[in-house]
Amino acid sequence: MLKHRGFPGRLPGTDFQFTLRRAAKGTPTRLTPRERFADRRPADRRADAGFLWALKEHFGADPFARGNLDAGRLSWLFGREVLPAEEPFDPESYDALLRVDLDRARAAFPDIFDPDWAP
């Protein structure tokens, strides 16, 4: 499992996890798109924004390996702002390539593109 050095481990001041310490003993957690409803808690929305901001700052629009990024946090963005970057895509692989769709990210989370915004 690739470890993304310099990527934040969690949302500052919270327990919202962004990365894993070690690989799963069996099969990695499957990436599945999760529905984001309008009534989600503000803390959850902040965690989504903070994670997407970290992805944007760390990788930009370039493809990146899933590696040690948290599958649960990725799943909230997967299929919308974070897309597969390879075909065929294996949602249960730490080596699967993903990419951030900056246009969709800007539409869904416009604040994270403000240079003064930080999680």
- Give the Cα separation of 69 and 27 in Å (integer): 15
Task: Quote the pLDDT of residue 12.
Answer: 79
Given strand 64-65, what is the order of strands in its sheet? 64-65, 97-100, 82-84
- Give the Cα separation of 82 and 4 in Å (integer): 17
Task: Quote the pLDDT of residue 59.
Answer: 92
Q: Quick one: tokens of 61?
A: 């629009």
Domain ranges of the chain: 1-119
Cβ pair 88, 25 in contact under 8 A:
no
Task: Going residue by residue through the chain, which has 119 residues, state the pLDDT in tens, using 9 for 90 and above.
Answer: 778 888 888 787 788 888 877 777 778 888 999 988 888 898 889 999 999 999 999 999 999 998 889 998 999 999 999 999 999 999 999 899 999 999 999 999 999 999 888 77
